[in-house]
Amino acid sequence: MMIIFISHSTKDEALAKMLSSFLESVDSNIEVFCTSQVGSIDAGRNFPHEITNKLNRCDVFIPLLSVNYYESRFSMIELGFSYSCLYNKYIEHQGNYIYPLTVSSIKKAEALAGTPLSNLQIYSINDAHDMRAYIESICNHKNIHCPSGLNKRINKFIADINQIIFEKFDILNNVKIFVCKSGEVPGEDGDYLSYESTDKCEYIVKFIGKPLNNSNTYPVFLSFVLKFLDKIDLYTLLSTNKNAKLSFNIDNTTNSLSKINIEIKYSNNNNILHRETIFLQTETTSVDIELSKIESKALKYVSEICFVITPSAYLNDKGVFKIKNFRISF
């Protein structure tokens, strides 16, 4: 019998339950302890004491490394305790007892960097190749035979996992905003374009084509930029749901613009992956950019989404527009 302990944030309960069920389906000799499962800890038992007992008995410890995990003090304590608890086993038997899994945006190379666990092999719960190697590694730990049809089951598992992850996907979770201009014109970027944000995920953008007394020409373009600090993976999201769309509303508040160009960029070089012109209504324009029409592996590394204004769009060379409800929809 192999006993597996899954450590997770309470916010990742659905993921932990699904992983637990999947692992137990691999072989009847696998038993998973997961605090999210009903009956894992009997009513009236001392919760920390019971978890300690489970850790001492487990053969494999799986931390489910997500943004939620790192933000949970209890999860981090659990990770540290598991390391100290299983360290002697690791040294004595020359085997690995901790099998970390990363979730979505957490990068494997950075997940445990700078910790005593940095030398461990880390796998991604969203990657079929990783999960195949992961299951094989765990099974080899106790000489458990991998079942037939494993690849098909892994693909189904990942599809279900991704559905849970992306249902709560917040595209603006780790974004930096800035404005810029292009062209040989006087002044700073902020003279031409400025913005303020509200609590309703709304950006109020103000532009002036010639803000200074010595301004004789317009900039080649003005751009309001959403920069994703860790890049966002829209390719995996698209593979989960082919109806995935980048959606938002643009309020042409002062009716000063006829159009805005949307640019989706990728990689560290911010190469343009997709450009689309949005012709604006006099009030609100609803925009849905279907990711299936862009379908490219470059969607895995989206670095910026830009709202670009050119002089040909001016109905008035100064004005205000609002970007609202920026999200992924299905």
Q: Give bridge partners of residue 197 from the DSSP assignment.
A: 203
Strands 302-309 and 221-232: antiparallel
Report which residue type is found at 227: K
H helical segments located in 44-182: 47-57, 67-71, 73-93, 108-111, 128-141, 150-167
Whether 91 and 134 share a structural domain = yes
pTM of the model: 0.67
Whether 246 and 284 share a structural domain = yes
* Cα distance between residue 75 and residue 80, in whole Å: 9
Domain stops at, among 119, 136, 167: 167
* Spatial contact of 275 and 259, defined as CB atoms under 8 Å apart: no
| Count of CB atoms situated within 10 Å of the CB of 181 | 20
- Residue 206 CA, distance from chain mean position: 30
Whether 182 and 277 share a structural domain = yes
Question: What's the pLDDT at 92?
Answer: 60
Domain total of the chain: 2
Whether 134 and 64 share a structural domain = yes
Question: What's the pLDDT at 53?
Answer: 78
* Spatial contact of 4 and 23, defined as CB atoms under 8 Å apart: yes
Query: In which element (H, E) is residue 197 found?
Result: strand 193-197
* Cα distance between residue 100 and residue 98, in whole Å: 6
Task: Give the burial string for 29-67 (b: 16+ CB within 10 Å, else e).
Answer: ebebbbbbeeeebeeeeeeeeebeebbeebbbbbbbbbb
Classify residue 242 as exposed, middle or buried by CB count within 10 Å of its CB (0-12, 13-18, 19+).
Answer: exposed
Whether 191 and 120 share a structural domain = no
Helices (H) and strands (E) in the chain, counts: 9, 15
Whether 216 and 257 share a structural domain = yes
CATH number at residue 218: 2.60.120.430
Question: What's the pLDDT at 36?
Answer: 61
Whether 135 and 254 share a structural domain = no
Domain stops at, among 135, 167, 199: 167
Question: What's the pLDDT at 46?
Answer: 52
**Which distant-in-sequence residues (6+ apart) come within 8 Å of 136 by Cβ?**
146
Question: What's the pLDDT at 88?
Answer: 65
Query: In which element (H, E) is residue 240 found?
Result: helix 234-240
Q: Which pair of tokens denotes residue 111?
A: 């997940």
Whether 228 and 144 share a structural domain = no
CATH number at residue 138: 3.40.50.10140
* Cα distance between residue 22 and residue 16, in whole Å: 10
Whose CA is closest to 30, among 41, 15, 19, 38? 19
Query: In which element (H, E) is residue 273 found?
Result: strand 271-279
* Cα distance between residue 115 and residue 251, in whole Å: 48
Domain stops at, among 125, 145, 167: 167
Whether 12 and 161 share a structural domain = yes
* Per-residue pLDDT of the chain in tens (330 residues, 90 and over written 9): 888 999 999 989 999 999 999 999 998 889 998 876 544 444 445 555 666 777 778 888 999 999 889 988 888 888 887 887 776 666 665 567 889 999 877 888 888 888 888 888 899 998 889 999 999 988 887 788 888 888 999 989 988 888 788 777 788 888 999 999 999 999 999 999 999 998 777 999 999 999 998 888 999 999 999 999 989 989 888 877 788 899 999 999 999 999 999 999 999 999 999 999 999 998 899 999 999 999 799 999 999 999 999 999 999 999 999 999 999 887
Which domain covers residue 270, as residue numbers?
175-329
Whether 6 and 147 share a structural domain = yes
* Cα distance between residue 25 and residue 31, in whole Å: 10
Whether 311 and 184 share a structural domain = yes
Question: What's the pLDDT at 90?
Answer: 61
Whether 53 and 88 share a structural domain = yes
